[in-house]
Amino acid sequence: MPNLFDSMQAYFVDDGWDPVAVDGQPGVLRMVVLGRDNYWQMFAAAPDGTGLVVLQSVVGLATPRAKFAEMSELLHRINFGMPVAKFEMDWSDGEVRCTTGADLVGVADVRNAVRNLARVNKQTMRHHLKALFALILDDATVEEAVQLAQSFGD
């Protein structure tokens, strides 16, 4: 029976994600994800012996230090009520990422569980990326960025 990392990697390979192993980080894959108008990197990790699969999509543009407070508020407002995914910002460098994960110990269909995690991560990132970029690049206010996030697809 394949281990969790092998099952995760097999899903991404078979589904055409073109995963690449991250040097020096066992159990971690990197992929480029294409959105509607942009792209970003997703990292998939299955740390050995934990039973966890964690997917993180990285925005790719660091939040300027002068906008840390505004980005923190925006992420908090986006996260409120989101049941599966979360956004977070690294206060050391302004990196913003979307994280999904699950404990897959005892799960019979790991590939399907990974597919579901990847789908949620990709959809959540795609849905909110325009709002995040508006705050980082376009000097949008938090309120304007929230409106962008809420009006996605309209």
Which amino acid, one-letter code, is at 23?
D
Report the run of H or E that residue 12 belongs to, with start and end: helix 4-14
57 by Cβ neighbours in 10 Å (0-12 / 13-18 / 19+) ranks as buried
Please report the beta strands in 11-147, taking only residues with DSSP state E, as ranges in sequence order. Answer: 20-21, 28-34, 39-45, 52-58, 86-89, 96-103
Kindly give, in sequence order, each residue whose CB lies less than 8 Å from that of residue 36, ignoring residues fewer than 6 positions away: 126
- Coil, strand, or helix at residue 62? coil
User: What are 47-67's pLDDT values in tens digits?
Assistant: 888 999 999 999 989 999 999
Residue 2 pLDDT class (50, 70, 90 cuts): low
What pTM value is reported for the model? Answer: 0.91
- Coil, strand, or helix at residue 56? strand
Q: State yes or no: pLDDT of 151 exceeds 60.
A: yes
Domain that holds residue 98: 4-150
For residues 56 and 140, what is the distance between their CA atoms, to the nearest angstrom?
A: 25
Please report the beta strands in the chain, taking only residues with DSSP state E, as ranges in sequence order. Answer: 20-21, 28-34, 39-45, 52-58, 86-89, 96-103
User: What are 104-143's pLDDT values in tens digits?
Assistant: 998 989 999 999 999 999 999 998 999 999 999 988 999 9
Domain count of the fold of the chain? 1
Contact 100, 55 (CB under 8 A): yes
CATH number assigned to the domain comprising residue 37: 3.30.1460.10
What's the token pair of residue 129? 């990326």
